[in-house]
Amino acid sequence: MGQVQDKVAIVTGGASGIGAACVATLAREGAKVVVTDLDDPRGQALVADIGSAGGEAVYLHQDVSLEESWSGIIEAAERRFGRLDVTVANAGIGIMCKAVEMSLADWRRQTAVNLDGVFLSVEYAVPAMRRADGGSIIITSSVAGLRGSAGLAGYCATKGGVRLFAKAVAMECAAEADGIRVNTVHLVSSTRRSGRSYHGPAGATCRSTRTRFAKAGCRSAGWTGSGHREWRAVSRLRRVQLHDGGGAGDRRRHDGRRKTSVELRLTA
């Protein structure tokens, strides 16, 4: 029996990178996964691999910034698997550019994916999770959402925005006592090693990349109350702090393979 046996999850931006790692982990732990992305070949290949390993997953093409795509994604998840328990709002882009050199087209495209996409994922997932008597929303942020980074001003704005957005939504869900948890994950950027390019709209002027992140094996310590907390992956042997309404504790876990130290424990 897996940790999320028979739960139903949607993972946006799930065809590659951290999204694909989330998809693979959820499937391995027993979840039925709806994978969405713009990269159809990779998404379809990932779903095929999961099926070959005995898991259940389906791939759907989606631009998370388009509202008209969302009702179909939720309907497909409920029609095929009966419910929605987990949403991983992972889709995002990173546009490397100084603020004074960034075009408005670049700013708006990045905001559309990183902020509008997260907003829409929450707007459409929450009602479905309420029909299922609760659930969990996990939003991929970044350490760039906690502190500024030269050359990534627009990206920092979006990742800081989703961090506070998640806190607010967590409080709204707690007030409704709907059993929905909302968390953010703050990972270390490794944009210098990014491989694939994101091609912006006509007139875009800055070099654009799909941001990749150092993978971190974050696990919950069993906290089940409604609210918000942050998982952060930081440089090796540093401490990080998690926050929720009940207080937080911290400890180090060194992962030699990934060279990260990940906070794992919340106190009651």
Instruction: State in words which class domain 8-231 has.
Output: alpha beta
Query: What would the pLDDT profile of 98-118 be if each residue is shown by its tens digit?
Result: 999 999 999 999 999 999 999
Those residues whose C-beta lies under 8 Å from the C-beta of residue 121, and which sit 6 or more positions away, are: 10, 12, 64, 70, 87, 89, 137, 139
Tell if the pTM clears 0.85, that is, is over it.
no
Helix residue ranges per DSSP H, 14-152: 17-28, 40-52, 70-81, 104-111, 117-131
Q: What is the pLDDT of residue 267?
A: 26
**Residues of the chain with pLDDT > 70: what percent?**
70
Q: What is the pLDDT of residue 32?
A: 98
Q: What is the pLDDT of residue 189?
A: 52
Q: What is the pLDDT of residue 187?
A: 84
Q: Which residues are catalytic?
A: 155
Those residues whose C-beta lies under 8 Å from the C-beta of residue 45, and which sit 6 or more positions away, are: none
Is 256 a residue whose pLDDT tops 80?
Answer: no
Task: Report domain extents, the chain.
Answer: 8-231
pLDDT band for position 260 (cuts 50, 70, 90): very low
Query: What would the pLDDT profile of 234-248 be if each residue is shown by its tens digit?
Result: 333 233 333 343 333
Query: φ, ψ for residue 213 (rounded to 5)?
Result: -130, 155
Is residue 101 helix, strand or coil?
helix
Compute the mean pLDDT over every residue in the chain, rounded to the nearest whole number.
78
Residues 178-194 have a mean pLDDT of: 75
| Consecutive H or E run containing 113 | none
Most confident option among 47-51, 231-235, 251-255: 47-51
Q: What is the pLDDT of residue 257?
A: 35
pLDDT band for position 157 (cuts 50, 70, 90): very high
